[in-house]
A and B are shown apart, each in its own frame.
Chain A
């Protein structure tokens, strides 16, 4: 039997709900039980429908963006569909059912320097990881997006003490280019000590694949946080399947964070 971390289905009060950019929101809730056992890279299933409604039926998976004092958790999300649109209209004081913490998060080792690489909304789980690592180790965080306005919350990352490197496709902030362009430069700078690094990445599939391939070529372990459609988030339905190199993997239970070597990248999403 695999080790089971305590999970809770908690009625959580919305403490803050800010629009950080067009279609990007930060939701802060009071969920003391979920918060207390949460680890970086884990996620929650958040119920977005009104009480008594059956539509939209399913909860939405959100990775934990940050953990704050007082049993609070925050989620960073983009408004992409009906579920997140409904969620974005909810106000402080309203209650949300939050089930978590779920899944297996990032694995960090004390003697290894973590390089965090996030593309777009993929930065969501990385802030919690940066906070977790802060103080005990040096970290680098590479954040990439199409344009500067997408990269909200850079200050939150900087406050953790991680060294933040930025890439935008239009060159409006940081290096013009992709996350991998910055990663390539960083690995060259680190040169020999790159062997003492580990990469943790989250973002669009092609970006994670490129990061993983670059890491592999440098002989650096790479952990990837995957997304999938989900119904339960708890291993009941087996719906969130992705192709692994040896077998089907379930994002909610064996993931969402996987070692890059275990994913069959060519069958991407």
Chain B
């Protein structure tokens, strides 16, 4: 290999990515929606929209409100369900030269396991990302992700249902994210990705009503980036498994901050909604940075 040309490839457990830039769940649809606006072959991977066992209609409108440097959303996990995903959406993704990671969610542990089993049987899936920010219906509705034990239970159930690499996506709406990270790592997670959105709300003072139909929503975008970076830094230093950084990353400089904090890869979310081609520009920017500084590999970006 040409020693002047940096090696952008990374591995997350047994998952190999050509570069560390991945589209984040919920901001890239099932991929095909972006097909004409983005060259998927340039990307490390795509995490498709969260998939449940049965189709979900999502939350009542309004589902969005813009906030300072951010976006508050309460889409309500609208999705086609696992069977329609495998039948109608996965074939298109298989034709793309990029890793396909499927984000999964459920109301109870058994649902997560069943979706994971179905993905294990399907062709063309490279890894599973587990959304544990959903309410645990059987245990009173608190999110799986806010309880280290419940998070570990979900992780074990998914791990035993599939041989695919399992990435657990952590909620930031906790006092100590490293406690949840350690718990899912012990339960066998191959990696963690963080952060999911921060819970927030907004009120319309003219209508005197909450701005979102669901009252609360998840905050994303540049507004949350410093919080995300801090949590990634802490988690990288608390667990031995790879950490994927997510949270308001909008350009290559942002991505480099997360890689320097020790993330093995990054996911690009809200920025894709604003500029569909953002992730491709980030790959180019990371490459240019590494070339100009003579950094040979992604892991060499990490600082102490």
Which residues of chain A have a CB within 8 Å of any CB of chain B? Answer: 1, 4, 6-7, 9, 47, 54-59, 97, 99, 228-232, 234-243, 247-248, 253
Contacts and interface: CB of A to CB of B under 8 A. Distances in A.
A41 B193 CA distance: 40
Nearest to A59: B274
B61 A242 contact: yes
Contact of A231 (B71, B222, B223): B71
B227 interface: no
The secondary structure that dominates the B interface is loop
7 contacts: A231-B273, A235-B29, A236-B28, A236-B34, A241-B60, A241-B75, A243-B60
A54 B28 CA distance: 20
B27 interface: yes
- The listed residue with most A CB atoms (<10 A of its CB), out of B58, B92, B250, is B58
Contacts of B59: 241
A59 B273 CA distance: 9
A232 B26 CA distance: 11
A228 B61 contact: yes
A243 B274 CA distance: 25
B277 interface: yes
- The listed residue with most A CB atoms (<10 A of its CB), out of B64, B78, B223, is B64
Contact of A56 (B34, B61, B62, B66): B66
Given A237-B273, A247-B57, A57 B69 contact: yes
A238 B65 contact: no
A159 B221 CA distance: 45
A241 B64 CA distance: 9
Given A1-B92, A54-B222, A236-B29, A241 B66 contact: no
Interface pairs A-B: 5 shortest CB-CB: A239-B64, A232-B273, A54-B222, A54-B69, A235-B33
Contacts of B34: 234, 236
Interface string B238-282: 000000000000100000000000000000001011111100000
Contacts of B274: 47, 57-59, 231-232
Contacts, number: 101
Nearest to A249: B61
Contacts of B35: 4
A54 B64 contact: no
A236 B273 contact: yes
A191 to B, nearest CB: 39
Contacts of B70: 57
B241 to A, nearest CB: 29
Interface string B25-49: 0111100111111000000000000
B140 interface: no
Contact of B69 (A55, A235, A237): A55
Contacts of A97: 275
A87 to B, nearest CB: 15
B297 to A, nearest CB: 29
A97 B69 CA distance: 18
Contacts of A4: 35-36
Interface string B56-91: 011111111110111101010010000000000000
A11 to B, nearest CB: 11
B74 to A, nearest CB: 9
Contact of B57 (A99, A237, A248): A248
Nearest to B89: A1
B250 A54 contact: yes
Given A236-B27, A239-B73, A229 B57 contact: no
A58 B37 contact: no
Given A1-B92, A248-B57, A55 B68 contact: yes
Nearest to B250: A54
- The listed residue with most A CB atoms (<10 A of its CB), out of B59, B66, B272, B277, is B66
A237 B26 contact: yes
B175 to A, nearest CB: 28
A239 B63 contact: yes
Given A56-B66, A57-B66, A229-B62, A237 B73 contact: yes
Nearest to B23: A236
B276 A99 contact: yes
Contacts of A240: 63-64
Contacts of A239: 63-64, 73, 75
Given A57-B270, A58-B66, A234-B34, A9 B275 contact: yes
Nearest to B28: A236
A242 B64 CA distance: 12
